[in-house]
């Protein structure tokens, strides 16, 4: 459930940023300015958007790394439990085998 919430939140944030970029681009293109001023503003907007996208990518990378670590710990924990259960089963099998061979 947390994965679904994380992904939907990420999509909402990404859609918001994309919408903001498109809206700002339209506003720049329709504003009464010289071509040079418009190009400068578009460049500033692109730089700001690139920075925000980089920050967002870092956040996503950190969350994915954290999820992978949690998954590794979970697998190791379950692997240990399964190994213990298998060993106990083998031991019980050997005891029953000895009982049957003596009896």
Q: Which domain holds residue 27?
A: 2-102
Using alpha carbons, list the distances in angstroms from residue 11 to 30, 38, 64, 94. Answer: 28, 30, 15, 56
Round to whole Å and give the CA distance between 31 and 33: 6
Global pTM reads 0.44
What pLDDT, on the 0 to 100 scale, is given for residue 88? 92
What pLDDT, on the 0 to 100 scale, is given for residue 87? 92
Domain count, the chain: 1
Task: Kindly give the confidence (pLDDT) of every residue in the chain, 103 residues in length, as a single tens digit, with 9 standing for 90 and above.
Answer: 455 555 577 778 778 877 887 887 777 677 777 778 878 887 888 888 888 888 888 888 888 888 889 888 888 888 888 999 999 999 999 998 888 887 6
Contacts of 67 (CB under 8 A, 6+ apart): 3
């Amino acid at each position: 459930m947390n994965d679904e919430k994380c992904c939907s939140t990420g999509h909402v944030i990404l859609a918001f940023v994309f919408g903001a970029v498109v809206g700002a681009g339209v506003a720049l293109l329709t504003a009464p300015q010289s071509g040079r001023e418009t190009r400068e503003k578009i460049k500033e907007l692109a730089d700001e958007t690139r920075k925000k996208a980089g920050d967002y990518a870092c956040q996503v990378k950190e969350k994915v790394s954290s999820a992978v670590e949690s998954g590794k710990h979970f697998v190791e924990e379950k692997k240990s439990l399964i190994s213990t259960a298998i060993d106990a089963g083998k031991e019980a099998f050997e005891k029953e085998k000895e009982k049957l061979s003596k009896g």
